[in-house]
A = this chain, B = another copy of it.
Amino acid sequence: MSTRIVEIRQNVLNKNDLLAHQLRDRFTAAGAFTVNLVSSPGSGKTAFLQRTLTELLAQGTRVAALVGDLETDNDARRLAASGAPVRQINTHGRCHLEAEMIESHLAGWDPADFDFLFIENVGNLVCPSSYDLGESLRVVMLSVTEGEDKPLKYPGIFHSADLAVITKHDLAAACELDRAALLTNLEAVCPGRPVLFTSARTGEGFPEWLALLAERRAGRDPGTIAS
């Protein structure tokens, strides 16, 4: 890229970061713990979030979600089935969410009404890593069907995340998952960060996930989970 393009991109990122900091302050003051879910298309973000919303609502926890896609409101409709307030953000070709999209789609919502606000990013293992959305927790998700080498091939987004969630673990045998290789690769790129093995179909890993959310919201660090 030319120097001029790099400079302009840097300005866009600086503007985004500034707004993201303001959003994070607003969420923190309101007590709304905000989680940004990033992954490839088809890693199972929506199924994972749908089960998360349903289980949190069943506990009496107040939750809401914003969901990004280039087109369609399929995911918002799927997530709204949980009973939580959900809004779709269509990026119309943009490959990531930005802080200003979050701000504009909060209109009419009071963050103080939510214990947790989940943001499901556009499916993309590259571009969303550069855009802070004001979240307090960034979760990178990877399905067992995608291959153990993905952390090494997309180090930026894995390194930017606070936590890795492995999805579709019920398919591990069918995909001949090499769990040790996956953990080694994750540890190489994001050392010491928690890894959760989950399945939205069977519920595996959800007790640990919900416990981690509660700990993080309370300001405690539950440390590494998988080994």
Stretch of A49-57, A121-129, A210-218 lying at the B interface: A121-129
Choose among B74, B95, B125 the residue that contacts A41 (Cβ–Cβ < 8 A). B125
User: Can you report 11 residue pairs joining A to B where beta carbons are below 8 Å apart?
Assistant: A8-B8, A40-B41, A40-B123, A40-B125, A41-B146, A41-B153, A42-B146, A70-B154, A71-B155, A72-B152, A95-B126
The reply to whether B125 and A74 contact each other, CB–CB distance below 8 Å, is: no
A103 at the interface (CB under 8 A from B): no
Per-residue B-contact encoding for A147-163, CB less than 8 Å = 1, 0 else: 10110111110000000
Which residues from chain B contact A40 at a C-beta distance below 8 Å? 40-42, 123, 125
| C-alpha spacing A143/B174, complex, angstroms | 14
| C-alpha spacing A205/B46, complex, angstroms | 30
A30 at the interface (CB under 8 A from B): no
Task: Kindly state the interface size class of chain A when it binds its partner.
Answer: 35 or more
A132 at the interface (CB under 8 A from B): no
Per-residue B-contact encoding for A5-19, CB less than 8 Å = 1, 0 else: 100100010000000
A93 at the interface (CB under 8 A from B): yes
* Nearest CB of B to A207, in Å: 24
Which residues from chain B contact A142 at a C-beta distance below 8 Å? 42
Which residues from chain B contact A168 at a C-beta distance below 8 Å? 145
The reply to whether B126 and A125 contact each other, CB–CB distance below 8 Å, is: no
A220 at the interface (CB under 8 A from B): no
Q: A149 and B95 in contact (CB under 8 A), knowing A4-B8, A41-B125, A171-B175?
A: no
